[in-house]
Amino acid sequence: MPAASQSTPSPLAPPLLDAQGRRMTYLRLSITDRCNFRCTYCSPASWGGKKDLLTAQEFERIVSVFASMGIQRVRLTGGEPLIRPDILEIAQRISALPGVRHLAITTNASHLERLAAPLREAGVTQLNMSLDTLSEETFRRISKQGDFATTLRGIDAAARVGFSSLKLNVVVMRGVNDDEVPALVRHAHERGITPRFIELMPFGQGTPVPSAELVERLQASGLALVSEPAEDASSATSGPARYWRAPTGRVGFISPLTQNFCGGCNRVRVASNGDLRSCLGGRAQAPLHQLIRGGATDTELALAIRGALGEKPEGHRFTEAGNGATLLPMMGIGG
């Protein structure tokens, strides 16, 4: 008898693997590259933004394909995602998709005083809120736009709503806000929020501070820190942060320069115009928006996604000489 033929797996079926065999479970989806702040490390004055953003229905279509391929966690980024007038519709559509277990948003918190509760009702489970300083003067130095008091009230509003996870993202710049790290830990922990200190990446202005130096500073300030085991990279909720435990709560550190986290990467990114970027530090992309608007089937979208991830590099190469000049601004990538 002839041997039974083996059927070819559907491109829409999990797992979703990259060129190194890493399993992708986490989609970072930029829904706008515009922002009401202009932070020096993220959005240079020359950045004009993309002109053809996707609709709520198109975002839903893209996420549904990714979810069928094994994506379980989706994070909406920007720019500032909460400036989109249809943000609640986008959140509702994506949170209702089969396979999506976690829906998170990264925000500068400036609209949370009004939107924290509606976002929770729309299915958002986690918020990462950016706050680089507790000084209004330093706030103005980092961002010429935005309102400091409104940002603080937005963070407090989110803390009252009952999200399953709240994190405070701090980009640390030497000589700008590095002396505020202990105060920012206290501010976050008093509100039940986990602070995370991020090494400045080569997308804009400023000098980074190594995470190990910040750990030493916190310990010298009297905060007892105990390192936690690294998260399992195969987990749908794992990310690049490494956490330490203090008596008052957790403290996270994201160290793209000194503690390269690419080996455990489980992330894929789609920009606000539908360009799929397999790596934060590269320009290779797949134009999913053109495929959708050209009438592509879900299978054709899945094949394009797998093709792009088949070219994903082993690492971001941020530290290679001259590489910074080839990078898009952070707000053009979606973080």
Closest CA relative to residue 15, chosen from 73, 75, 67, 74? 67
Closest CA relative to residue 179, chosen from 247, 245, 133, 141? 133
Could you list the residues known to form a binding site for [4Fe-4S] cluster, using ranges: 35, 39, 42, 262, 265, 279
Could you list the residues known to form a binding site for GTP, using ranges: 28, 75, 106, 167, 267-269
What's the token pair of residue 281?
A: 């530090």
What's the token pair of residue 120?
A: 């929770």
Rounded to the nearest 5 percent, the helix, strand and coil shares of the chain are 30, 20, 50
**Checking phi first, is residue 68 left (phi over 0); if not, alpha (psi -120 to 50) or beta?**
alpha
Could you list the residues known to form a binding site, using ranges: 28, 35, 39, 41-42, 75, 79, 106, 130, 167, 201, 262, 265, 267-269, 279
Closest CA relative to residue 176, chosen from 152, 153, 150, 204? 204
Could you list the residues known to form a binding site for S-adenosyl-L-methionine, using ranges: 41, 79, 130, 201
Closest CA relative to residue 186, chosen from 221, 146, 228, 227? 221
What residues have CB less than 8 Å from 46, skipping those under 6 apart? none
What residues have CB less than 8 Å from 281, skipping those under 6 apart? 313, 315, 316, 317, 318, 323, 327
